[in-house]
A = this chain, B = another copy of it.
Amino acid sequence: MKQQYAVGIDIGGTNTVFGIVDHRGDTLYRGAISSRKHTKIEDYIDELYAALEPAITQVGGIDSIKGIGIGAPNGNYYSGTIEYAPNLIWKGIIPLAKLITDKFGVPAALTNDANAAAVGEMMYGAAKGMKDFIMITLGTGVGSGIVANGHLIYGHDGFAGELGHTTIIPNGRLHPGTGMKGSLESYASATGVANTAREFLDQRQEDSLLRNYPYDEIDSRIVYDCAMQGDTIAREVYEYTGAILGLALANFVMFSSPEAVILFGGMTKAGDLILKPTREHMEKNLLPIFQHKVKLIFSELKEADAAILGASALVWEIKTEAAR
């Protein structure tokens, strides 16, 4: 049978990773190029093509490829464009899906990275068989992908699911990237955790392992290490982060009543340090009718593969949509 593989491409601010994935979610081939080398998008796509072409030949040529799925910041599923992505070097509106299709000769589908992760989770991960769940990506930023009635919510314009930018603490911490105050991302991202640690160190006199590190170099990894060594302030940073994340999740649950909220990304390495306070505060802020019903779990996708897998899963999703 032909057309049994999908290409998954994940475009990050620094690197682009890609791979060829089969229907079971096994990644047969992996590669990476820089996202910052070519200011002309056509040159970037040429390099991408050159990097993928040998692998495509190896699995049987382009006729074996059903399509190409792409996850990218501000990726729009409806239009196939990347629109004003602050972290990418291509400015304005980039018709990426069309450019990829023109170059490779197969259909291409594009969405934002968190939506791609949600589709991947639904096909291969913890959300297998679920029709209603919310994926929250906790990395440098906070992203989200929302599935209801078995399908991603794209909204009227393709941009639904920007939960990281919802306001949780009115007039709270300034987000330097957006200018907004008190958004979830300004607290629950890795950047937010580091900022909370610095705030706590400023406000308090007590000793802390965190004070052994240069103030400006404190990152979420250092906070984690200190917390694991029993440092009080570092532990309280996670409790504070979990309290805000839990409050936000309670609001999201009362919106779409998902079967599960799935946490994904670097911050989940903190394990129970982040999961326990998040669960406690999520439950506390739910109406009784929603309490003790929602699974709060970590992604089951290996992080190295997840971005490629999620993007590639879009290709099978195209099929599903068309068959409806």
Query: A residues touching B (Cβ–Cβ < 8 Å)?
Result: 74, 83-84, 130-132, 146, 148-149, 151, 153-163, 165-170, 178, 180, 247, 250-252, 254-259, 285, 287-290, 293
Contact = CB atoms under 8 A, between A and B. Distances in A.
Contacts of A254: 161-163, 165-166
Given A132-B155, A132-B160, A159-B290, 10 more contacts: A84-B289, A146-B256, A148-B160, A149-B153, A149-B154, A155-B257, A160-B257, A161-B256, A166-B254, A166-B255
A37 B281 CA distance: 40
A250 B132 contact: no
A167 B131 contact: no
A167 B285 contact: yes
Given A148-B153, A169-B170, A250-B167, A83 B289 contact: yes
A146 B233 CA distance: 41
A250 to B, nearest CB: 7
A176 to B, nearest CB: 14
Given A287-B180, A289-B74, A289-B83, A258 B167 contact: no
B287 A251 contact: no
Nearest to A76: B289
A185 B73 CA distance: 34
Nearest to A168: B170
B74 A156 contact: no
A191 to B, nearest CB: 17
B165 A257 contact: no
Given A159-B289, A168-B170, A255 B257 contact: no
A126 B108 CA distance: 35
A321 to B, nearest CB: 10
A74 to B, nearest CB: 7
Contacts of A170: 168-169, 247
A65 B120 CA distance: 45
